[in-house]
Every structure is written in C-alpha cells, then in structure tokens.
Amino acid sequence: MMTYDAFRTGELQGWDARADDYDTATARATIQSIPDLLAAARLAPGLRLLDVCCGPGYATGAAAALGVEAQGIDFAPGMVRAAQTRFPAATFDVGDAENLPFDDASFNAVVCNFGLNHVTDPGRAMREAIRVLVPGGFYTFSVWLPPDRNPAFNLIFGTLTAHADMTLAPKAPDAFALTAPKAAETMLREAGFDTLGVRDVQNILKVPADGLFNFFYRFSVRFALIHDPQTETVQRAIRAEFDRTARAFLIGHDVCIPMPSHVFYGQKPEFGKERTT
Ligand SMILES: C[S@@+](CC[C@H](N)C(=O)[O-])C[C@H]1O[C@@H](n2cnc3c(N)ncnc32)[C@H](O)[C@@H]1O
C-alpha cells in the first residue's frame, strides 16, 4: 500500500506554520461552508459535537455559540493554540483524525470542514467518526469541487501542472477523491452511515489583487509542497502565470474567484437498525 509519510509531515508542518494568519488566507473560503455543515449536523443546545481537523476552530466556535458542548481536534499544535485563544467557550486538543483519542459513542455530531482532503486515509477517518458517534448521530464534512468545476482550483492546479515537475512533490492522496457524490456516498456507506445527503455551497474567494501569489502560497499547504522543490526558473514562471491568469477575476481592487464546495452528511444507524451486511 502507498504511504504518504512525507506528505503528512509536510501538511503538519505547513498548517502549524500557517496557524496565526490562517484567518486572512484559507479561512476566507472555508468559513463560508460552516452554516451548511452545522445545519446538516442537526445540532441543539446541550448536545456534544466534535470538530475534526478544526484548524483555528471556526466550526467548533460557531457550534459553541449555539449552546452546543463543542470539542475541536487538530494534529497541528499551533492550530489548537490559536483555536483555544479565539474560542475559550470550546475545548481543543491535539489529535489525529485517523486515530481519534475519544471513547466510542461519545458525541452526538461529528463535523469535518475541509479536513478529509488533507488526511492520508479518509476512509479510516470516517470509520473513526462513526465509532465516536452515538447511534442516530450525524457526520457532516465538506470538500471542494475539482478544478474543472472550480475556478480557484483551476487557477492553482492549472498553473502548477502547466509549469511544475510534479514528480518532485511528495506523493499525496488525490485531493478531489471525495468530490463526486457517488464516491463520497460509497465511502460513507462502507463506513456504516445511512440517510445520506449533500448540500451545495457557492463559496467565493476574495483576495487583494496585489500579492496574489503570496496569498495562495499561504492559502494552500499542498500548493507550497509542489512549488517549493521546483527550480527558481519554474517558480518564477508559476508566479508570473498566477498574476496573469487571476486578472480575469478582477473586480475593483480585489480578485473574486468562485470556489464551490459540497457538504455531505450521513447518519449512524439507530440501535436495532444497523446493517448486517
Ligand atoms: C484546510 S484546514 C481546515 C481547517 C478548518 N476546519 C477550517 O474550517 O478552516 C485543514 C486542517 O486539517 C488539519 N489536519 C490535516 N490532517 C490531519 C489529521 N490527520 N488529523 C488532524 N488534523 C489534520 C490541518 O492541521 C489543518 O488545520
């Protein structure tokens, strides 16, 4: 089986280093999916929620503001520190989505906002989510649409594939493996969920037009992991192409790029309704 150790280390170090200015970069796009993510989780005051790959804790904090007992977990210690500072009403711990440090059936809802496209084995992360959920509890997660239906990722990966030698980057799982409803549905069913559904979110990424390359470098660890091993000439070409291509999305002094996402959900079967096959 393929291992993604270098990718995992790069992700951990990359997100840890980005914790303090995450809200001026990646969060501009990710937070737009939180209302749908929490709505699909069927929350109510007093219920217990786990936010996996919580980053600086926006979904956890939003759930806590609804009176939910909210717990966030992320493998980057810097993210956990940032989250605890920002949302003192919630609890945050360092931990791995693929090996959750919680007892079986300890949460009423588990959410994961743009985390499954970063873990090395999303199927395992889903099996961990269903293990810690109570029967009848909901699991919800968001993923980006792929480059052919997502102008922001078309800009990022189109520019990279046009110039970069992709073999220099750490071997990584497919970032868009769960985008297709069929693929997400299959993985959810294999993990044991039923009552599946999907909500569409039309995220728009708004970026100051100057310093566009620097923004995307902070925005995406995967982008940095592909960019950094390239030669200086290739890095210059990537930077120039970014500035050129992004002009198509200029509105006033900002670049506004559509970055649509899906929010998928599934329910852990109630007692007595578990599937036997
Ligand atoms: C794109 S950020 C999403 C953060 C946040 N959920 C949000 O809504 O903005 C991805 C996060 O997943 C975390 N992460 C990646 N792999 C992880 C793993 N195996 N276990 C726990 N956290 C992980 C990263 O540290 C990072 O904070």
**Mean pLDDT for the stretch of residues 50-78:** 98
- 272 part of a folded domain: no
Distances (CA, A) of 139 to 130, 152, 246, 262: 7, 27, 36, 14
How far does residue 124's CA lie from ligand 1's centre (Å)?
15
Structural domains counted in the chain: 1
Tokens of 70: 């909210």
- The predicted-structure confidence for 153-202, as pLDDT tens digits, reads as follows 999 989 999 999 999 999 999 999 999 889 999 999 999 999 999 999 99
- Residue 125: is its pLDDT beyond 60? yes
Exposed / middle / buried, residue 161 (Cβ in 10 Å: 0-12, 13-18, 19+) = exposed
How far does residue 74's CA lie from ligand 1's centre (Å)?
6
Q: Which domain holds residue 200?
A: 5-267
Q: What is the distance between the alpha carbons of residues 146 and 25, in angstroms, rounded to a whole number?
A: 20
- 187 part of a folded domain: yes
Instruction: Give the pLDDT score at 253.
Output: 87
Instruction: Give the pLDDT score at 210.
Output: 80
- Looking up residue 12, the CATH number of its domain turns out to be 3.40.50.150
Beta-carbon-side half-sphere exposure of residue 202 (alpha carbons within 13 Å): 1
- 186 part of a folded domain: yes
- 145 part of a folded domain: yes
- 277 part of a folded domain: no
- 274 part of a folded domain: no
How far does residue 73's CA lie from ligand 1's centre (Å)?
9
Choose which residue among 3, 24, 53, 120 to substitute to test ligand 1 binding: the one with the highest number of ligand atoms within 8 A of its C-beta.
53
- Whether 223 lines ligand 1, by a CB cut-off of 6 Å, is no
- Residue 11: is its pLDDT beyond 60? yes
- 224 part of a folded domain: yes
Mean pLDDT of the chain: 94
Instruction: Give the pLDDT score at 275.
Output: 58
